[in-house]
Amino acid sequence: MCDYNSLTEEEKLHYHNLLLDAAEKFGGKNFFLHLLEAIRETKPHPLIAANRTFTMELGEIKWNKTIFKDKLQLLQQVRLEESKRNNLLPEVSDKRYKKVLNLVRTLRPIVFHVKPANKENGPGFFFQPFEVVDENTTRLNPLFDALFFCAIGTVKKLLNYEAR
C-alpha cells in the first residue's frame, strides 16, 4: 500500500475511502495527518511502548498487548516484501517462515483503539494489525500500515485521491 505509484486506480480508491473514513472519525484529514506526524517523530517507535499507549494533544492510540522490539523489527522487514507476494507470510521453504508465522499469531489478537481528545471531533475507530484471508495468506491491515509505517506523503496522496 505504501508504494503509491504501483497501486491500481481501484486500489487507490479503496485506500482513499478507508483512510478518509478513519480520518473523519478522528476529526478530519488535518488531525489525522498530525497524528501520523507525531507517530513518525516519536523515538523509539511508539509500538514498543511498555504502557501500550501513544498520546498526543489531539488524541491517543491504545492497544491491548505489548509489542517487543524484535517483533517490530521482523514486521518492518517482512512488510516491505508483502506487496511483491501479496502475502505477509513468506514461502514455507523460507527460513523465516516460522518466525513470521509466530509474529502473526502473536500480534493478530491485538486491537488498536484510536480516539480523538475531544468527542466532538469524532467517535474514533479501532482495527487489528492483520487481515487474514485464509490459513496461508495474511496481509497487513492498510490502516495499521498507514498509521505506523507508510510515508506521510503517500498517505496524503491517498487521502486527496480523486477517481478519474
What confidence tens digit (pLDDT) does each residue in 106-159 have? 999 999 999 999 999 999 999 999 998 888 889 999 999 999 999 999 999 999
Check residue 130 and give its pLDDT.
93
Rg (CA), the chain: 16
Q: Where are the alpha helices (DSSP H) in 86-151?
A: 97-107, 142-148
Q: Is residue 164's pLDDT more than 80? A: no
- How many CB atoms sit inside 10 A of residue 120's CB? 7
Measured CA to CA, the distance from residue 85 to residue 137 in angstroms comes to 10
In the numeric block, which cell numbers belong to residue 70? 524484535
pLDDT tens digits, one per residue of 26-70: 999 999 999 999 999 999 999 999 999 999 999 999 999 999 999
Q: What is the pLDDT of residue 4?
A: 86
Name the pairing type of β-strands 137-140 and 130-134: antiparallel
**Global confidence as pTM:** 0.91
Give residue 81's pLDDT band: very low, low, confident or very high (50, 70, 90). confident
Model pLDDT, residue 83: 79
What pLDDT sits at residue 66?
Answer: 92
CA distance 92 to 153: 35
Name the strand (E) or helix (H) holding 131.
strand 130-134
* Listed residue (102, 104, 128, 100) closest to 114, CA to CA: 128
* Residue 1 confidence (pLDDT) above 80: no
Tell me, what's the pLDDT at 42?
A: 94
103 falls in which pLDDT band (50, 70, 90)? very high
Residue 18: partners with Cβ closer than 8 Å, 6 or more residues away: 142, 143
CA 22, CA 126: separation in Å to the nearest integer?
A: 9
Q: 52 CB contacts (<8 Å, ≥6 apart)?
A: 62, 63, 64, 65, 66
